[in-house]
Structure 1
Amino acid sequence: MKIGTRKSRLAMVQTEMAAEAIKTAFPSVPIEINGYETKGDQQLNRSLAAFGSKGAFTKELETAMLEGRIDLAVHSAKDLPVELPEGLTVGAVLQRGDSRDVWVSLRKEFSEIEACRGKVIVGTGSLRRALQIRQMCNGVEIRDIRGNVPTRLKKLSEELFDGIILAAAGLKRLGYLSDACDETGCFEAEGQTFFYEILPKEQFFPAAGQGIIAVETRQHDCEDCMQAIHDEQTWQMFLAERAFLKAIGGGCNEAAAVDAAVDEEKMTVRARYAADGAHMKEISVSGTRYGDRMKDRQMAVDLGCRAAQKLQSGKVYLIGAGPGDTGLITMKGIEALKEADVVVYDHLASASLLNETKDAAEWIDAGKFAGNHRMKQSEIEQLLIEKAMAGHVVARLKGGDPFIFGRGGEEALALTAAGIDYEVIPGVSSVYSAPAYAGIPITHRGKASSFHVITGHEDPAKGESSLDYDILAREEGTLVFLMGLSRLRQISDQLIEKGKDARTPAAVIASGTTARQRCVTADLSRIAETAEEASIQPPAILVVGDVVNLKEAVDWQQPGPLSGRKILVTATEIIARPLAEYIRRLGGEPVVMSLIGVKGQEMSSIKAVLTSPGKRWLVFTSRNGVRFFFEQMKKEQVDIRSLGDSRIAVMGAGTRKELENWGCYADLVPEQSCSESLAKALCAHAEPDEAICLFRAEEASDVLTKRLWEKQYRVVDIPTYRTEIMWKKRELLGEMLEDVDAVTFCSASAVSAFVQMTEGHDLVAKTICIGPVTAQAAKKEGLHIDKVAEQYDLEGLTEALCAILSQ
């Protein structure tokens, strides 16, 4: 019997283990072991990822078997591709060895992996190991390492790495570690002492098949021999882990880890997978064993496939957006929005929430509001399932709370039936928040010790109303009717008819918690008429009870110069946040819709700029320039002290503040936030031999560089970021323009994007620019500007807003 294997020492040891098992069962069978050199052994200059999943360590052996030169091939199971050549099969697996991984270091201070943080260099050619080591020790540097175990230990002894990760089974089979070794310790090899720590599988999942010796044969060949050496429990683990790997479409160097465990009662499969090659998700599935070999094998395959399906499918967040004021969404809701790949949203009081999503997120308008449903409920549910099954993280953004008349329960049931992972993130409900903003507490000692929430818009498929107005009329607590504006007269008449005092105070609150909030009050008998006379429009709620009389005394909202005004903020996120806060403080409602996204550019080495001979100025014209500069410093690991020989100039108070956030302070801030003023200030302060390094947008104007060149300065213009138009916001922008009082512009690029995205729209809202450069860009684009800030910063822009909207 001729057995083929790789020529490495470990491969030979494992083949001898298989040969010994065969000799024990069939003592008279002569055995010959032939060593082969595979492509993976020869091409050590290529990473494992470069080979893909096409059998870097098996192809030569399989060819020899198909040509009849060998009868069997012995492999480490984790090296086997998920698809074997036609005519070949895995005939047997030996009892599994230790499937854990081992951290090995030459230095005692790095003997335990938890101590390895910061600039520790870790050697591994496995993406699985690299991702998991980064989870355990943030900040480590991963470098590729290839070769067999002795080769890797030799590279470690040459101090090319601070530590490497090896398979425990390999170290034990080679005799470096004993089967009964401690979890931590040291061993001798290659004339060196190495320190080790066996990594627990709870923290560090193994590769599929790790620790298993697999014997590959021709189909229907050597069957008696294979049956004699085969271990059934290991085979079921092998089946589960291979099924998982195949289901994710992976190979031996996939960003995946899996561990199957079998006992007398059940099998458990724990797996990790990074679909994007960077962020690992984890899942665990289990099943009760049948006690029947064939059924248990099938269950193993099913569990592996189920683990893969769960990891590949995404997750759905059912998020309560709150009642309208964007400040009332929960922090958890915002975090989920930022994580989402897809956002399915209803008609929201403010589009600002969508601005929190990542640039690449897909937006889908489900369009559910009174009298206009772009999608049926069943279609929305199917959409959530399809997007999650495609592996996306889906945010289902619903006004108020998803489980309060929001049909969130129906969506949760549909997701449960489809086996989709989901999470409910409750929201602040208009039930109590809209009355609160109107100065009406819905419970109050001596007036109402309970409140009752009723839908004013029941399922039209119902034959008759399920509301018992007899009971509602007798309730002493506050009654809150949602979505009942179109039935206001019927509701009030029914309550009075069933015994509710016609003089009971009532209020109708429209667009609660937003700038457009309106509230009218009257006795129950007149509330419908009063709301109609005031032209109250949905969304609106009806509040009935004595607490309405508290409104005048609890009118806590103090009017500001921008009260009742909705202002569209078109700036990038870094500028939009502080501007929106200014607007809120003055009573306005900011609608944040960044029309341009910013992308960091590949910069020439900042380290080279900062260490070049001579003195220099570092010049920043925007917050984004500052942010991307310092992020690049971190990326290049440039010490902040490298800035010591540089002087810094910034344009505008916002840029100065962003610089201070990074722990630096400007040496020069021009009086006016414009290129002309900055150039004038630099020319007044810079020495002739000083370089002027500009860190700004790729498409920045040439005014600054021209003025500096005219004065013979050496200018280094470094594009730090570029802007991109966010075309996916075009439709939503058109809708928002119908409901805002003013539009603000903080850059020429925002003006350009706005003009392109609103072509064909009639603009009624007032337009305000932060300064003359932006205003000049608007003029070139043919956009009328109503007001230009006199002070070229966010405070000046806010003052201009107040001035134009008070006219």
Structure 2
Amino acid sequence: MTQTPSSPAEVQDSGLQTRAVAQARVQFVGTGPGDPGLLTLSAVTAINRASRIIIDSERLRALLQTPEIQLNAEAEIIEPDTPQDIIAALLDAAGHGLDVVRLVEGDPFLDGDIGAECSALAIADHDVDVVPGVSPLTAVPEYAGVSLHGHDVQLIGVESARRDLSSEGYPWAAEGLIVVSTIVDLVREVVAHALESGRGESEPAVITLHGGTTEQVSTTTTLGGLAAAVAKTDPAEPAYIVIGHVVAESSRARLDWYESKPLFGWSILIPRTRDHSATLPSRLQDYGARCLDVPTISMELPRTPQQMDKAIRGMVEGRYEWVVFTSANAVRAVREKLESIGLDSRAYSGLRIAAIFDSTVKALAEWGVRPDLVPEGTQSTAALAATFPAFDDALDPINRVFVPRADIATESLSAELSALGWEVEDIIGYRTVRAAPPPAETREAIRAGRFDAVVFTSSTTVRNLVGIAGKPHRHTVVAAIGQRTAETCEEHGLAVDVVAPEPTPTALADSLAAFAAARRDDLIAKGRPVIRPSQRKRRGRQPGH
């Protein structure tokens, strides 16, 4: 077991030197157009280290929920109301010596108006760092399938008709491509200024809303038809416009890689346990889906905690050679017991730690603990048993293994470790109980068929979701991680559309994407419109839905 130092004293004792901070430094971090996958490594690192994060929109708050972001446990997120409040918040954080990050949509200098903020920090003698981000002015056209390569391109930001399109404004290029970042309310002014600059009303144009997100909608039209294309859209909605003769419907269709993803725009429900891997939602998002996690299981103390108390004392007294964790919940159960008696992660000193699943390893890392044994490849109790060393009385001073587990977990791992010569103490560390029902709007969306698909990762999630929220609508595609989970779905009256060929989150996501792609191709072959399952008319369930 490797333990990472956490406190300054532990850092010094380990021979490392603490970093002296001469003065506060504020990092302006570009976040790109909205797709979390466009965050740079530097951006993720800065966000994860920050103790205070300043944002100015709910889109940025949502971005912080992406699995790649692992916020500091003490990180504070602040959303000031005005530009002056933002400056005040930055100065306050820097004045207290905090590690502060200011998130900016797009690129800080190209898309963000951060000049006043940087100047205020410079006057106060605070250092400023900038982490560039991908600009929507170039990214969104690519997401819409428009190639900018090989053309004269003019990038324009129109935030105010009065300031940017006044009589003092310069004419735009009469040829080549024009890319405009604006809001829907200013589309008519953009069109008028383009016409005044010599562009033709019949010139091809494409307008994109929600650019770079799984809600993206791109419409190919003409310069004269742009306003009509967004007539029913929120006037404050950001819009990205490309004007030019190379923007033809046929060429864009060939390059429309993003909106043609198999699960693009699908809303997918993931009933989950507390010990939920980020692999499944991340993989589904790669295919263009929007995911909503709904907890179905909660964790409680065992009904008779004496065995767990005895095992924790045994850890401290050197009773065990190994502690084996098969879930993040087991890590939390042991941690809570140790903290309740005033101990920290140093209680693991001298012990060897084995673990399966990324979520388990992450839960250990949050407490500064690094496992000695994690099986490669498939994460399962069988894989762990296959790589676990046999007891050797010449090498192992103690032959006992502590396995904290849930009350509903099987004891097969203990039997396999016993066969390797170990004396296993299999202890119930926590009970799993049904979670509280989700919000009323989520329950209604489940019953009304507003989710395109639901993915079940265990029989328990099937039983508990039906118990706390009711059965999904018959139009909702049902995907199961394995045959046993599929059987549980059918026992609860759910028709299963997708069964993963192997019980892994990646295989489940890939199988659902393959199903969606085949469904789309079938609809096209039949000359029918390609609509999502949630967009179907509320008729009976049809074959191949």
- TM over 0.5: same fold? yes
Residue 509 of structure 2 is aligned to residue 798 of structure 1 = yes
**Would the aligned equivalents of 1:449 and 1:477 in 2 still touch at CA under 8 Å?**
yes
Which residue in 2 is equivalent to 1:716? 426
Which residue in 2 is equivalent to 1:348? 59
Which residue in 2 is equivalent to 1:281? 20
CA–CA distance in 1 between the matches of 2:20 and 2:46?
16
Distance of aligned partners of 1:387 and 1:763 in 2 relative to their CA distance in 1, 3 Å threshold: farther
**Would the aligned equivalents of 1:510 and 1:536 in 2 still touch at CA under 8 Å?**
no
Which residue in 1 is equivalent to 2:285? 584
Distance of aligned partners of 1:317 and 1:661 in 2 relative to their CA distance in 1, 3 Å threshold: farther
| Aligned with 2:327 (options 622, 642, 650) | 622
| Aligned with 1:776 (options 458, 463, 470) | 463
Please report how far the alpha carbon of residue 556 of structure 1 lies from its aligned counterpart in structure 2 after TM superposition. Answer: 3.3
Distance of aligned partners of 1:453 and 1:780 in 2 relative to their CA distance in 1, 3 Å threshold: same
Equivalent residue letter for 2:256: D
SS at match of 1:556: coil
Distance of aligned partners of 1:390 and 1:781 in 2 relative to their CA distance in 1, 3 Å threshold: farther
Please list the CA deviations of residues 130-173 of structure 1 after superposition, one character each: whole Å capped at 9, or x if unmatched.
Answer: 75574xx44xxxxxxxxxxxxxxxxxxxxxxxxxxxxxxxxxxx
Please report how far the alpha carbon of residue 490 of structure 1 lies from its aligned counterpart in structure 2 after TM superposition. Answer: 2.1
Please report how far the alpha carbon of residue 510 of structure 1 lies from its aligned counterpart in structure 2 after TM superposition. Answer: 1.0
Residue 34 of structure 2 is aligned to residue 324 of structure 1 = yes
Which residue in 2 is equivalent to 1:425? 131
CA–CA distance in 2 between the matches of 1:597 and 1:426?
41
**Would the aligned equivalents of 1:456 and 1:481 in 2 still touch at CA under 8 Å?**
no
Residue 271 of structure 2 is aligned to residue 552 of structure 1 = no
CA–CA distance in 2 between the matches of 1:130 and 1:610?
25
Please report how far the alpha carbon of residue 636 of structure 1 lies from its aligned counterpart in structure 2 after TM superposition. Answer: 1.7
Please list the CA deviations of residues 726-748 of structure 1 after superposition, one character each: whole Å capped at 9, or x if unmatched.
Answer: xxxxxxxxxxxxxxxxxxxxxx6
Distance of aligned partners of 1:330 and 1:668 in 2 relative to their CA distance in 1, 3 Å threshold: closer
Please list the CA deviations of residues 492-545 of structure 1 after superposition, one character each: whole Å capped at 9, or x if unmatched.
Answer: 123213422223221101111211111112221222223337999822111122
Which residue in 2 is equivalent to 1:156? none
Which residue in 2 is equivalent to 1:789? 480
**Would the aligned equivalents of 1:570 and 1:576 in 2 still touch at CA under 8 Å?**
no
Please report how far the alpha carbon of residue 328 of structure 1 lies from its aligned counterpart in structure 2 after TM superposition. Answer: 0.2
Q: TM-score, normalised by structure 1?
A: 0.45
Please list the CA deviations of residues 651-708 of structure 1 after superposition, one character each: whole Å capped at 9, or x if unmatched.
Answer: x89989999983579998479xxxxxx9xxxxxxxxxxx9774234xxx445658999
Please report how far the alpha carbon of residue 377 of structure 1 lies from its aligned counterpart in structure 2 after TM superposition. Answer: 1.0
Which residue in 2 is equivalent to 1:487? 186
The structure whose Rg is larger is 1
Please report how far the alpha carbon of residue 778 of structure 1 lies from its aligned counterpart in structure 2 after TM superposition. Answer: 3.6
Residue 383 of structure 2 is aligned to residue 662 of structure 1 = no
**Would the aligned equivalents of 1:315 and 1:388 in 2 still touch at CA under 8 Å?**
yes
Distance of aligned partners of 1:701 and 1:799 in 2 relative to their CA distance in 1, 3 Å threshold: farther
Please report how far the alpha carbon of residue 382 of structure 1 lies from its aligned counterpart in structure 2 after TM superposition. Answer: 0.9
| Counterparts of residues 505-654 of structure 1 (less than 5 Å) | 505-532=204-231, 538-549=237-248, 550-557=251-258, 559-567=260-268, 575-590=276-291, 604-605=314-315, 608-611=318-321, 620-622=325-327, 625=330, 636-638=349-351
> 770-779 vs 700-709, which deviates more?
700-709
SS at match of 2:202: coil
Which residue in 2 is equivalent to 1:360? 74
Equivalent residue letter for 1:359: A
SS at match of 1:717: strand
SS at match of 1:526: helix
**Would the aligned equivalents of 1:131 and 1:280 in 2 still touch at CA under 8 Å?**
no
Equivalent residue letter for 1:482: S
Q: How many residues align?
A: 431
SS at match of 2:201: coil
Please report how far the alpha carbon of residue 547 of structure 1 lies from its aligned counterpart in structure 2 after TM superposition. Answer: 3.5
SS at match of 2:171: helix
Please list the CA deviations of residues 338-389 of structure 1 after superposition, one character each: whole Å capped at 9, or x if unmatched.
Answer: 01122222231782434522333222334xxxxxxxx111112112222332
Equivalent residue letter for 1:772: S
Runs of 5+ in structure 2 lacking a partner?
300-307, 336-343, 364-370, 386-398, 416-422, 486-502, 517-531, 534-544
Q: TM-score, normalised by structure 2?
A: 0.63
Please list the CA deviations of residues 431-478 of structure 1 after superposition, one character each: whole Å capped at 9, or x if unmatched.
Answer: 000001111123x32xx23322232435x6x5x84575652154x342
CA–CA distance in 1 between the matches of 2:187 and 2:242?
11
Distance of aligned partners of 1:133 and 1:661 in 2 relative to their CA distance in 1, 3 Å threshold: closer
SS at match of 1:583: helix
CA–CA distance in 2 between the matches of 1:587 and 1:801?
12
Flag the structure with more relative contact order, 1 or 2, with Cα contacts below 8 A and sequence separation at least 6: 2
**Would the aligned equivalents of 2:209 and 2:240 in 1 still touch at CA under 8 Å?**
yes
Residue 157 of structure 2 is aligned to residue 454 of structure 1 = yes
**Would the aligned equivalents of 1:352 and 1:593 in 2 still touch at CA under 8 Å?**
no
Equivalent residue letter for 1:622: S
SS at match of 1:548: coil
Distance of aligned partners of 1:597 and 1:545 in 2 relative to their CA distance in 1, 3 Å threshold: farther
